[in-house]
Amino acid sequence: MKKLLLHEKFMMGLVLLNVAAIFIQECGIDNIILTIIDIVCSAFFVAEMIVKHLEYGLKGYWQNGWNMLDGIVTLITLPALTAYFVPNVADYGFIIALRALRVFKLFRTARRFPNIKEIWNGFTLALRQSAAFLLAYFIIIIIIAMFNSALFSHAAPEYFKTPLDGIYSMFQMFTIEGWYDIPNTVVGNMPSVWVHVIRIYFCLLLIGGGIIGMSLINSIFVDALAADNNDDVKKKLDSLEEKINILIKNKQ
């Protein structure tokens, strides 16, 4: 049993089976077989966690990133099993929804991807390098949201009643999809003399924050991701150039 619980392919098969069963249940098809599959798979996940703790120790288990992800998902989703045994628990949708988090167990397959470590290191490096610009961008959004809430909370309370509503509305607007709904709602309750001014104001916000701002974030992040690969290419070119110089010297 211990070898079975530590067998990666077997456990991955259980994850796929459990995710498929949960998917079918969420589609409205439920029967005793799907319930048994969910309970049995959950029991195997807990048993796997216990065996790995015994095998690697408490510290060794939680120091491994993949085990940490697996363990957190296992613990968080366990309360969902109470829906099968405790009456009326199923009425609390958020408890049942916890089961859906088991899909994150599929990320354990990522360890088999080629160069996954290099990809992750490149991602974290890009995130660190673009963190300052992202922070500045979010601060600007907060300032604009507060300003808009002060100006338009009465004209469009569904978008700017509070600064929190304003922040969400700004994100909605900067994604460009359906951005015109916000200014149209605002000007609907404004005197005609202000209509064009307000529309121009929101167009400038869209250009600055949505088109230019989001483009800058994308370009900075992509450049940072590519920088690590460029460094590797540069090292290889320098090494090749050095070898060519050595060959030329030997011929001379």
pLDDT in tens, 6-61: 787 888 888 889 888 888 887 888 788 988 988 898 898 889 889 989 888 988 88
Decide: pTM greater than 0.85. no
Distance CA 121, CA 115 (A): 10
Distance CA 52, CA 69 (A): 13
CA 219 to chain CA centroid, nearest Å: 19
DSSP class of 73: H
Contacts of 220 (CB under 8 A, 6+ apart): 129, 130, 133
Does the pLDDT value for residue 224 go beyond 80?
no
Taking each helix axis as running N to C, give the angle between helix 65-77 and helix 32-63, from 0 to 180 degrees, rounded to the nearest 10.
140
Q: By the 8 A CB rule, do 166 and 146 touch?
A: yes
pLDDT band per the 50, 70, 90 thresholds, residue 89: low
* Domains of the chain (ranges, CATH numbers): 2-112 (1.20.120), 118-251 (1.10.287)
pLDDT in tens, 183-212: 888 888 677 778 888 889 999 999 988 888
